[in-house]
Amino acid sequence: MNTILRNIAVYSSLALLTFAQHGTAGESGKQKNAPGKTDNASRSALPEKMTLDDCVLLALKQNPQILESIQQIQLTQGQIITVRAQALPHIGVASSYNQIDQNLIETPMGQQEKAWQVAFQATQLIYSGGQVGAAIKIANLSNASSFFSLRNVVDQVIATVRTQFYDVLLDRALVEVQEESVHLLESQLKDQQSRYEAGTVPSFNVLQAQVQLSNQIPVLIKAKNTYLISQLNISKTLGVPYDTWHPGKSAINASGELSYHERAVNKDEAITFAKEHRSSLKIQRQNILIQLQAIKVALAGYQPQISANAGWEFHNSVLSKQLDQTVNGWFFGATGNWAIFDGLATYGNVKQARAQLETAKISYDDGVLQVELEVQQALANLEEAKETIMSQTKNVEQALEALRLSQERLNAGAGTQLDVLNAQVQLTQARTNKLQALRDYDVALAELDRVTGANTVYLDSFQDPLVKKKILDRNMNAPAGKLPVKTPEKKSGNS
């Protein structure tokens, strides 16, 4: 069963989307793995080194949230079948057998001691005031909404994987920075010990170097622990259990390193793109359509309901005591029900449905504002990270030069040990700031792709009403003599 679910996750997810090629950190010029190769990876064996694309495809295959969303699609498809059954004929067989005590028979022609009956019957709803038709449309809209929900989850999971992948790269680089800082302090301690033994520096210098080294070691220990936790976090997102990787080894060995690749983004275009492609807005637009149909369901309470039934019946003859003496024939009938006054229950249902429609419209308007806010926040974070990278790149160069000069001054007797230690601390801080800015820039890009819906490219088998409306508006406002934009034809399946 688990294998079936995983296969559904792979093929359903990859059929719905094509992962946009944004480039793996530190491997922009390297050819990406073929999707088929990644799909064949099992939960019991992970690649020794995993690129960003490897992690994303693995998450699409076995992330629990994506698997739950796929099952939600199955649920809504089942609801369509259930609702549609109300419009289809129902065929059944009814049978009965009765036997009573002769003492209960008061007249010879009253009741039979034994009686049986078999009836084949079909019932069909003739008219429901539009209730069933609207309910079927609601089920279909809910099913489409569940696909948009899957898209929304996929976009969120991809952004999460990218963020956690960059966290792994950052924490690994910070471990290297702290290890280099410890090595520098160890060499400084050895140098001061040699100078002390030669009698050129006091014991205070040795003691100061020892204290500085001891203070730096806990920072390195904490950096290693943070690196391990970041690996565990991405393992959970990828759906990788504990027994997949051997204890004491890295859960996810990320391939690549943090690098800076500037992307030019136009704010107006990004916001427009987000409004057209963001899955959360598509879900809210579907909800408005659902509430419109819900009003029709409520209004059906004012209308009569009519159904018909027909069939063929067999039973033993009432004129004979022999059970094998039978009579049979057809029957047909119709029933109707019309609530002339239901205590204003239908009026209340209609009022509720209309209020829910207005609420859905307000929620959609608020959702548009939220998308605009998220895009602007992502762009602001992107610009902040970009400016920080520029400033800290120069700062690292200056910190390296300051450390070199302070060491030369110390060797020449013109500087102090404190100058060297301070220069080492400043170099470590500058490198940390730059790495953090590189990570923040990549994370801001991941968030921008999520809030604009650019993480994935979907192959739709149906039209988005908003996109169609924009094309019609464009045609109406087109200058005279200019060819209008054609509305895309509805396709029967994915292309």
How far is it, in rounded angstroms, from Cα 459 to Cα 151? 11
Q: What is the pLDDT of residues 151-179, one digit of tens each?
A: 999 999 999 999 999 999 999 999 988 88
Residue 20: its pLDDT value, please? Answer: 38
Task: Kindly state the DSSP code that residue 29 receives in the 8-state scheme.
Answer: T
Structure tokens at 17: 């989307």
Residue 477: its pLDDT value, please? Answer: 53
**Domains present along the chain, CATH in parentheses:** 2-90+132-305+344-458 (1.20.1600.10)
Share of the chain above pLDDT 70, in %: 79
**Per-residue confidence at 40, pLDDT binned at 50, 70, 90?**
very low
Residue 199: its pLDDT value, please? Answer: 81
Region of poorest pLDDT, from 30-39, 80-89, 214-223, 292-301: 30-39
Under a CB-based contact definition with an 8 Å cutoff, are residues 227 and 182 in contact?
no
pTM above 0.95, yes or no: no
The amino acid occupying position 50 is: M
Residue 489: its pLDDT value, please? Answer: 40
Residue 210: its pLDDT value, please? Answer: 87
Using N-to-C axis directions, what is the helix angle for 417-452 and 203-237, rounded to 10°?
10
On the question of pLDDT at 408 being above 70, the answer is: yes
Residue 106: its pLDDT value, please? Answer: 65
Q: What is the pLDDT of residues 415-458, one digit of tens each?
A: 776 777 788 788 888 888 889 999 999 999 999 999 998 877 66
Structure tokens at 173: 């680089």
Task: Kindly state the DSSP code that residue 249 receives in the 8-state scheme.
Answer: S
Q: How much is the mean pLDDT over the chain? A: 80
